[in-house]
Amino acid sequence: MTHNAQRIRPRRFTIEEYYKMSDAGILRADDRVELIEGEIFEMSPVGTPHSSSVVRLTRLLILAVGDKAVVSTQHPIRLGKRSQPEPDILILKPRGDDYAEAHPEPKDVLWLIEVSDTTLNYDRTTKLSLYARFNVPETWIVNLTDKRLEIYREPSPRGYKLARFLEGTDTASPERLPKFSVSVKSIFGQP
């Protein structure tokens, strides 16, 4: 008896198809979703500690980087043809069109930041490996659960090669803007 088994696979979407779903009303403007590896994921609701951290970091970054970089909050980054995540904060190279012509790509990114509490495991696994595979040079995870800053550098197809974990009075500077320095305590709003 022969058995012809066909493997059932999920249907993965491209970024263009994702936008067509929005244009057709399948995805609404107020839907909190992002496209990861061709799959559409619902994003977690944003709680007060998360929101407060994004606001605090955005203020610190804008004041510190001035016109040397663009600080973009909760906007998409295009990663290949099937992924368009929305990191909490993107720190981008200045571009004449202020990113009106196209969403940023990894070549535009100085570094990005994910603020994590309920999504910590997802950010550390799924999103971190995606960022590394697409050569985002540096990713920071603001770990609200442990009050720790996680810094990932040296992207490769298998993940980031370098990881640093900072707490308390430690200070952090991104590789691509080394004059910017921030204390971990200030990231968490501690005196």
Mean pLDDT of 64-71: 92
Q: What pLDDT is stored for residue 161 in this prediction?
A: 97
- pTM of the predicted model as reported, rounded to 2 decimal places: 0.89
Q: What pLDDT is stored for residue 154 in this prediction?
A: 98
**Alpha carbon distance 109, 78 (integer Å):** 11
**Residue 177 gets which letter from DSSP?**
S
Strand ranges, E, within 102-147: 109-116, 138-143
Q: What pLDDT is stored for residue 139 in this prediction?
A: 98
Q: What pLDDT is stored for residue 2 in this prediction?
A: 54
pLDDT over threshold 90, residue 30? no
**Residue 62, exposed/middle/buried by CB under 10 A (0-12, 13-18, 19+)?**
middle
Pairing of strands 138-143, 109-116: parallel
The region of weakest confidence among 92-96, 120-124, 180-184 is 180-184
Q: What pLDDT is stored for residue 172 in this prediction?
A: 94
Higher pLDDT: 36 or 79? It is 79
Residues near 27 by beta carbon (within 8 Å), at least 6 away in sequence: 18, 21, 33, 40
CATH of domain 46-187: 3.90.1570.10
Mean pLDDT of 150-173: 96
Q: Best-predicted range by mean pLDDT among 10-24, 94-108, 174-188?
A: 94-108
Higher pLDDT: 85 or 45? It is 85
pLDDT over threshold 70, residue 20? yes
pLDDT over threshold 80, residue 74? yes
Residues near 58 by beta carbon (within 8 Å), at least 6 away in sequence: 71, 73, 89
